[in-house]
């Protein structure tokens, strides 16, 4: 089943977790705190309101440490675009978790996360757009994009099969992707020095 089909079938919790996981994996572009989105994950597990944790996360990520901002200021165009996409994901998080806004946000996050990985991959991705990847056309995929597509698919499958029980596993999958992206960003920064 393609990523587009999985998103179309996802319930509210699956959509919220899918979008949150995409954003979570891109946190290395926004700041140093890998745990900044943890309260949002907790609110999903507890089925609690996420307005307060969302406000705190936005504030924390909007005031990233100065050294992180300086590194981004010296970034090449691909990283500038990647950072812009990550900020858009954060800015677009729906304040209330209702189906319509969540579906639009999760879909946009999926596209943005794949595009971010495409921008930061050292190898060229064979597709002209990430839409082809989301629809299941996977020939000539670059490694970073392929791994991100697998993570997005895995998270939606985990949540479809296990509901709230799949959240912990989804968080683990997302954390692994965040470590990978942090390593990519760090490697690129070392290459500029």
Q: Express each pLDDT in 159-172 by its tens digit.
A: 997 767 889 999 99
Overall number of domains in the chain: 1
52 or 79, greater pLDDT? 52
Residue 132 burial (CB < 10 Å; 0-12/13-18/19+)?
Answer: middle
For residue 183, what pLDDT is reported?
93
Model confidence over 23-78: pLDDT tens digits? Answer: 999 999 998 888 999 999 999 999 889 999 999 999 998 765 443 445 444 455 66
pTM for this structure?
0.88
Task: Say if residues 2 and 135 touch (Cβ distance below 8 Å).
Answer: yes
- Domain enclosing residue 123, as ranges: 3-192
Angstrom distances, CA of residue 155 to CA of 19, 69, 80: 10, 30, 27
Q: Is the pLDDT of residue 155 over 70?
A: yes
- What ranges in the chain are assigned the alpha helix state H? 3-9, 12-25, 38-45, 51-62, 66-73, 77-91, 99-120, 130-134, 143-162, 167-192
For residue 76, what pLDDT is reported?
58
Distance CA 54, CA 145 (A): 27
């Amino acid at each position: 089943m393609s990523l587009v089909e999985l998103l179309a079938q996802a319930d509210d919790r699956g959509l919220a977790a899918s979008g949150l996981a995409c954003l979570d994996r891109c946190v290395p572009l926004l700041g140093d705190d890998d745990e900044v989105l943890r309260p949002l994950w907790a609110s999903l597990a507890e089925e609690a309101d996420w307005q307060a944790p969302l406000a705190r996360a936005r504030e924390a990520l909007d005031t990233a440490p100065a050294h992180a901002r300086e590194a981004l200021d010296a970034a090449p165009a691909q990283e500038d675009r990647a950072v812009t996409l990550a900020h858009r994901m954060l800015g677009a998080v729906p304040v209330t978790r209702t189906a319509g806004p969540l579906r639009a946000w999760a879909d946009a996050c999926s596209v943005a996360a794949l595009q971010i990985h495409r921008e930061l991959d050292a190898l060229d991705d064979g597709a002209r757009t990430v839409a082809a990847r989301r629809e299941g056309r996977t020939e000539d995929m670059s490694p970073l994009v392929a791994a991100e597509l697998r993570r997005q698919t895995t998270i939606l499958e985990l949540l479809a099969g296990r509901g709230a029980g799949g959240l912990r596993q989804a968080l683990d999958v997302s954390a692994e992707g965040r470590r990978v992206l942090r390593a990519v960003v760090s490697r690129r920064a070392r290459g500029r020095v």
